[in-house]
Amino acid sequence: MPEYLSPGVYIEEISTGPKPIEGVGTSTAGFLGMTERGPETPKLVSGWLEFQRWFGGYLGGDSFLPFAVQGFFDNGGQRCFIGRVVPTGSGDARLTHGALVFSANGRGAWGSRVLVKIDNGTQAEDDTSVFRVSIIYYTSLPDTYPGDFVDPLDPREATNPARVGPDHTEVYDNLTFEAGAGNNAVTVINAASQLVKCWWGGGGANAARPANRAFADGPLEGGSDGEGQLVSADFEGAEGPVGGITLPDQDPPLNEPLGRDTGLVAMGKVDEVAILLAPDEVRFDPSEVTGRIINQCEELRDRFALVSVQQGESDVSQLRPPQDTTYGAFYYPWIEIFDPAANQPRLVPPTGHVAGILARTDIERGVHKAPANAVVRNARGLEFPVTKAMQDMLNPRGVNCIRDFRSDGRGIRLWGARTMSSDAEWKYVNVRRLFIFVEESIEEATQWVVFEPNHEPTWARVVRSITNFLIRIWREGALRGLTQEEAFFVKCDRTTMTQDDIDNGRLICYIGLAPVKPAEFVIFRISQKTLEAQG
């Protein structure tokens, strides 16, 4: 009760209407796998070019992840988190120059191809304390490095035939070592760099302006790829510092230290992820990486796994999903794309392109629409042709086929929308994902109910909030039924909880939904019209 202790006018704000429920996102994907470079903590990217700036380009046969990410964006995806996975024993490259310490923002030998140059800033004539930091990266260091290396950022060397342009360039001008300044070198570089993190080492931030240095003075050192090849355990990741990294005290503090969660452990903490996949799962036994991905989806219940068949599976009589689950879908066969790096066709797992189709369908139609009968953009062919007779065998098993309909002028299409579950109630991808969407939306929007009085007024507000949300979902076409009563019901009263429940602090709300199912089999029954039939 509010207190009224002295005469006066009191203004109070009260909440009278139901709390609105906002639907969560369903089209954000999470990718796990090996990249050329970049941070290991999941990083949000919103386009193929942004992916290249942070993580580099194609890795040829070493990783399918870049091809999958490009396929995701080509097919309509708009946002995804990249969880870079590195081999066991990998190390981070570092460079200590005066009081300034640089470290590659992720482990791997790539960090030893990062070069740093320090010279006077453009304001040096007026303020000799300011300086410029230039950082460049080469996928492969030039043969002329370091002895005959030509500074690629020196305008006087622009026409030098020995000049080799870097693959990535960053320039930060007019920096200072002054603590707390807006242009403090550590603050500026850590906020913007896609290659390194830095901090002030011994002596603190006010130690001294770092001396000038040239690119040819040496790259960051110590970067290594550990065992070289990924093993399935690398995808699991870990919590906390990686590689035994212990960061010194910094002033100002390091914005994003390397000591962050990695792998599936880190991806599990990214609440925005709704579609989860690891294109390189095909290199391992399905019980390993694939099993870990499905387990996370089942445990968190807020994301859906996309799983690919192993390469070379031509015997469809033996082909089945690797696991019985409602939280994943299985796709066959591999697709052929064009690899611009090798300038030739390449077969890749289809899950990256399928993730883009899921995202595109969600954005254009809604999560209730079955993600099928959609063109697989930029697919040039299939590893194996799938006929109707083959799909007659595969579809009931929960194998979603990609079919080539180019002879009919319809292109290459995703032609299946089933989960890997044997439970007929959950056999459609869109039904499971609709329930994920509704459940997570309600969970996140009803946190206000916790510790509210467990009685009729609270129950009524809960029912109104959820009802208003489901009415919107029904009107968007996600629930079947001509009336609201046919589409859903929401109950929260004495019939859904006993006195024992109330005494033990349990508020129980019962919700029933009638999801739309896809028209998987379209049947037209046609007969001849005769005079006898008319009578």
Predicted confidence (pLDDT) per residue in 80-139, tens digit: 999 999 998 899 899 988 888 999 999 999 999 999 999 988 876 666 678 999 999 999
Measured on CA atoms in the order 433, 437, 438, 443, is the torsion positive or negative? positive
What the block records as the tokens of 298 is 């089942």
Last residue of a domain, one of 177, 206, 236: 236
As a whole number, mean pLDDT of residues 401-415 equals 96
- 102 and 214 in a single domain? The answer is yes
Helix or strand holding residue 307 (H, E): strand 304-308
Q: How far apart are CA 369 and CA 360, in angstroms?
A: 11
The tokens 């690899």 sit on which residue? 339
Q: How far apart are CA 111 and CA 102, in angstroms?
A: 10
Look up the CATH number of the domain holding residue 35. 3.40.50.11780
- 184 and 62 in a single domain? The answer is no
Name the pLDDT band for 8 (thresholds 50, 70, 90).
confident
Q: How far apart are CA 110 and CA 87, in angstroms?
A: 13
Contact call for residues 387 and 373 (beta carbons, < 8 A): no
The tokens 């209730």 sit on which residue? 368
- 490 and 462 in a single domain? The answer is yes
Of 307, 313, 302, the residue nearest 289 (C-alpha) = 307
What per-residue confidence (pLDDT) applies to 253?
A: 44
Of 459, 442, 463, the residue nearest 497 (C-alpha) = 459
As a whole number, mean pLDDT of residues 184-190 equals 91
pLDDT tens for 481-496 read: 999 999 999 999 999 9
What the block records as the tokens of 18 is 């139901």
Last residue of a domain, one of 207, 236, 265: 236
- 70 and 123 in a single domain? The answer is no
Enter the DSSP assignment of 255.
S
Check whether 207 has a pLDDT greater than 90. Answer: no
Q: How far apart are CA 508 and CA 288, in angstroms?
A: 38
- Which range is most confident: 117-121, 210-214, 267-271? 267-271
What per-residue confidence (pLDDT) applies to 252?
A: 43
- 72 and 118 in a single domain? The answer is no
286 in a domain, yes or no?
A: yes
What the block records as the tokens of 299 is 């445990």
- 54 and 116 in a single domain? The answer is no
Last residue of a domain, one of 236, 257, 283: 236
What the block records as the tokens of 450 is 């916790």
- 424 and 504 in a single domain? The answer is no
Q: Which residue would you say has higher pLDDT here, 120 or 308?
A: 308
What per-residue confidence (pLDDT) applies to 248?
A: 46
Helical ranges in 311-447 per DSSP H: 351-364, 388-394, 429-445
Check whether 160 has a pLDDT greater than 50. Answer: yes
- 348 and 403 in a single domain? The answer is yes
What per-residue confidence (pLDDT) applies to 245?
A: 41
- 380 and 494 in a single domain? The answer is no
Enter the DSSP assignment of 241.
-
- 103 and 73 in a single domain? The answer is no
Contact call for residues 109 and 121 (beta carbons, < 8 A): no
As a whole number, mean pLDDT of residues 210-234 equals 90
Q: How many domains does the chain have?
A: 3
Check whether 451 has a pLDDT greater than 60. Answer: yes
165 in a domain, yes or no?
A: yes
- 297 and 357 in a single domain? The answer is yes
Angle at 265 between CA 264 and CA 269, to 5 degrees: 105
Check whether 250 has a pLDDT greater than 60. Answer: no
**Collapsed DSSP state (helix, strand, coil) of residue 499:** helix
Name the pLDDT band for 228 (thresholds 50, 70, 90).
confident
Name the pLDDT band for 208 (thresholds 50, 70, 90).
confident
- 351 and 212 in a single domain? The answer is no
Give residue 406's domain range. Answer: 29-85+275-429
Name the pLDDT band for 1 (thresholds 50, 70, 90).
low
What per-residue confidence (pLDDT) applies to 288?
A: 92
